[in-house]
Amino acid sequence: MTLAVLVLAAALAAPASAAVNRCAACHGGIDEKHAALVKGFERDIHREKGLTCAACHGGDPTKDDAAEAMDPEKGFVGAPSKADMPRFCGKCHSDPAAMRRSNPSLPVDQELKYYTSRHGKLLKAGDGRAASCADCHPPHGMRPPKDPTSSVYAKNIPRTCGTCHARQSSDYRAGVHGVALLEKGDTAAPVCNTCHGNHGATPPAAASIAMVCGSCHANNMEFFKASPMAKAWEKKGFHACATCHGNHAIAKPTPELLSGSHAVCLKCHAPASPQLAAAAAMKGTLLSVETAYASAEAAIKDAEVRGMDMEDARDALGQARMAMYQARTVVHSFQPAKVQEVAGGGADLARKAEGEARAAVLDFRNRRIGLGLATFVLTFLAGALYLRVKDQE
């Protein structure tokens, strides 16, 4: 019986001794830098997955003696050099068996992809400035990408990449995508790695720009690829979307891009050319639907402020907005007639919505006039009855 109790106690104690991690006891007291590393690791994703210091650095974490604990014969590797970092992390991240245990959803080709990236190639060529794993994923406190405190959380990526690519990061912040992500908080907005990839990060080539942008702006890409412009640009080696819209500092597209002093078409076409005339026609069409839309929206708001039900007008306005967006997309076909066809329908819907809103405001005024008349009649009758009462008295 006593023996059985002892065996059971030993069995229960066994897992506890396996989790012993004496590294922190010494390293936490070396200096402030090491203390911060030890403290940072307390909330590291690797620790949450059950890994200890020894899982990356090797050695024997159960020993109090430094020489024994950091004995190279026991697998101690210490801190890896920058050049060795991808292989160091790849010990687990490139090992399907290891990743299946801790995070089966994570791909195991990250190291492989890294070496195809510009960063990886430069590092391999001996450029010590090239970013390696720890430059984007600071160790000892690493958090998963969905954690808002992570260096690779969508809203933090421009800052992380901007550590080296300051100009591009600054341009991105000023562009539509940066504004959507950082100012409007839309975490679905594209960020650096959406276009460049992450572990295989590379600047998109001229031919692949349309594919990169087209992964979100699919219709724009389709219209552009089917247009006569696509072949001409291919010949000239233009970056499809970036030639007109820029790359990192992508400005909010307006009809002004088509014609006038800010027209991007002027980069290639003469001001008096038929191409510029077509662009001016498309600009006019877009402006006309935008004006009709804005006017209808103002009229609807005016009616809604007065408490009038504008559900139907809102529906029509929603359809007009859809047509307006479609017309902007169809511009990439560079065919004014097609743009007119789509935008014209939208403008008609907007005018219909505006008509309903104006009628509602008129109805609102008529209600008050009606109330005034009714009040007059009722007060007159009540007054007449009052006089009758006085007469009786």
Partner 1 sequence: MSALKDAALSWLEERLPLRSAMEFASHKRVPVHRGDVFYYAGGVCMFLFLLQVATGILLLMYYRVGSDASYESVRYISAKVPFGWLMRSVHSWGANLMVLFIFIHMFSVYFMKAFRKPRELTWLTGCGLLGLAMALGFSGYLLPWNELAFFATKVGTDILGQVPLVGHWLLRLVRGGDEVTGATLSRFFGLHVAVLPALTALGIGAHLLLVQVQGMAHEHEARRTMPFFPDFLVRDVALWLLVLNLVGVLAVFFPWEVGRKADALGSAPAGIKPEWYFLAQYQFLKLLPGRVGMVPGELLGIVALNGVGVWWLLTPFWDAAVPERRRDAVVRWAGLGAITLLTVMTVWGHLS
> Per CB under 8 A, does 309 bind partner 1?
yes
CB-CB contact of 291 with 321 (8 Å): no
Contact window for partner 1 (CB under 8 A) among 6-14, 204-212, 292-300, 307-315? 307-315
Q: How far is CA 369 from CA 306, 362, 374, in A?
A: 15, 11, 9
Task: State which residue, 66 or 385, has the beta carbon closest to partner 1.
Answer: 385
Hey, what are 302's tokens? 């005016």
Task: State which residue, 32 or 311, has the beta carbon closest to partner 1.
Answer: 311
User: Mask of contacts with partner 1, 165-194, x by CB under 8 A?
Assistant: ------------------------------
Hey, what are 38's tokens? 């030890």
Hey, what are 18's tokens? 């396996």
| CA end-to-end span of the chain | 114
Contact window for partner 1 (CB under 8 A) among 81-89, 136-144, 263-271, 385-393? 385-393
CA-to-CA distance for 158 and 167, rounded, in angstroms? 11
CA-to-CA distance for 192 and 157, rounded, in angstroms? 7
Task: State which residue, 100 or 368, has the beta carbon closest to partner 1.
Answer: 368
Nearest-approach distance from CB 367 to partner 1, in angstroms: 5
> Per CB under 8 A, does 382 bind partner 1?
yes
CA-to-CA distance for 385 and 383, rounded, in angstroms? 5
Nearest-approach distance from CB 314 to partner 1, in angstroms: 12
Residue keyed to tokens 């050319």 = 273
Q: How far is CA 243 from CA 212, 332, 390, in A?
A: 14, 13, 89
Contact window for partner 1 (CB under 8 A) among 22-30, 141-149, 339-347, 384-392? 384-392
Nearest-approach distance from CB 295 to partner 1, in angstroms: 22
> Per CB under 8 A, does 218 bind partner 1?
no
Task: State which residue, 142 or 308, has the beta carbon closest to partner 1.
Answer: 308
Sign for the pseudo-dihedral over CA of 250, 252, 258, 261: negative
Nearest-approach distance from CB 18 to partner 1, in angstroms: 47
CA 301 to centroid of chain Cα atoms: 31
> Per CB under 8 A, does 7 bind partner 1?
no
Task: State which residue, 105 or 392, has the beta carbon closest to partner 1.
Answer: 392
User: Mask of contacts with partner 1, 339-378, x by CB under 8 A?
Assistant: ----------------------------xx-xx--xx--x
Query: Is the backbone of residue 246 left (phi > 0), alpha (psi -120 to 50) or beta?
Result: left
CA-to-CA distance for 388 and 213, rounded, in angstroms? 83
Total binding residues for partner 1 by CB under 8 A? 20
Hey, what are 36's tokens? 């911060």
> Per CB under 8 A, does 385 bind partner 1?
yes
Which amino acid, residue 337?
A
> Per CB under 8 A, does 390 bind partner 1?
no
- Residue numbers of the site for partner 1 (CB under 8 A)? 307-309, 311-312, 367-368, 370-371, 374-375, 378-379, 381-382, 385-386, 388-389, 392
